[in-house]
Amino acid sequence: MSKRRYIPIIVMLCLAAGAAALMLSGDGVTVEMLTDYAPKNTALAVVVALLAYAVKSQTVFVLYGVVATAVGIVFEPPLSLIVNAVGSVVCISVPYFTGRASGGEAARKLLAKYKKLGEVYEGNRDNLFLVSLVLRVTNLSNDILGLFFGALRMDYWQYLASSFIGILPTMVLYTVLGNDLDLTSPPVLICAGVDIVCIIAAWLVLRLRKKRKGKPNEEKAL
């Protein structure tokens, strides 16, 4: 293994250490903690927000929704949407390159550990774009998905496009929630409804593909 391949792993360890330090510093990473730490200077606050996304990308203990909601509170729209969009790209990309550096063994371990990931992948491995999109829509952990598709060496731009499309409804929901802070407001309810519809649509797509793949086998059996 070349020295260059160790760089993503070192970055991962540093970010994971940062996440651990945040977890040990109090009652976990909360929206209030992130907004309290946000600098008054807008440019510096953007940098801090993107660093928070990078840290989140390496641990399931820092929730995506917490970071995205905090950004919605700290920044006014449309800047909050832009920051969350760029942050989402960071959150999607960092685990991918870590997984890519780790090799195929990481993919096999993740398939064995996460049943949902294995079921979707095995049934749709001929269309990785769809697998990535569906799993992202169903809100499976960013770091797990990134490590998995990176280890599979899926084309980065295809992975990024499918992941960003899949995470977009959730990103908008948390951004609007942070700006509004009212779970019953029309914008929040509309965004939540779109997110739910996307999850149902993803489930239906998988069901339809499963039925279509089962038909030839059934015909042969007859």
Which range, 83-97, 137-151, 188-202, has the best average confidence (pLDDT)?
83-97
Q: How far is CA 9 from the centre of its chain?
A: 19
Which range, 19-33, 73-87, 96-110, 197-211, has the best average confidence (pLDDT)?
73-87
The pLDDT assigned to 221 comes to 42
Tell me how far apart the alpha carbons of residues 136 and 163 are, in angstroms, rounded to a whole number. Answer: 6
Supply φ then ψ for residue 8, to 5 degrees: -60, -35
Which range, 54-68, 87-101, 130-144, has the best average confidence (pLDDT)?
87-101
Which range, 22-26, 92-96, 98-102, 132-136, has the best average confidence (pLDDT)?
92-96
The pLDDT assigned to 158 comes to 92
Q: Is the pLDDT assigned to residue 85 strictly greater than 90?
A: yes
- 10 Å CB burial of residue 139 (0-12, 13-18, 19+) is middle
The pLDDT assigned to 100 comes to 84
Mean pLDDT rounded to a whole number for the chain: 77
Tell me how far apart the alpha carbons of residues 13 and 57 are, in angstroms, rounded to a whole number. Answer: 11
* More confident call, 220 vs 95: 95
Cβ partners under 8 Å of residue 166, min gap 6: 132, 133, 134, 135, 136, 137, 198, 202
Distances (CA, A) of 34 to 65, 71, 141, 161, 192: 12, 9, 20, 28, 23
Tell me how far apart the alpha carbons of residues 58 and 51 are, in angstroms, rounded to a whole number. Answer: 11
Tell me how far apart the alpha carbons of residues 163 and 142 are, in angstroms, rounded to a whole number. Answer: 9
* More confident call, 8 vs 200: 200
Closest CA to 162 of 106, 124, 189: 124
The pLDDT assigned to 177 comes to 86
Q: For the chain, which residues make up each domain, given as ranges?
A: 3-215
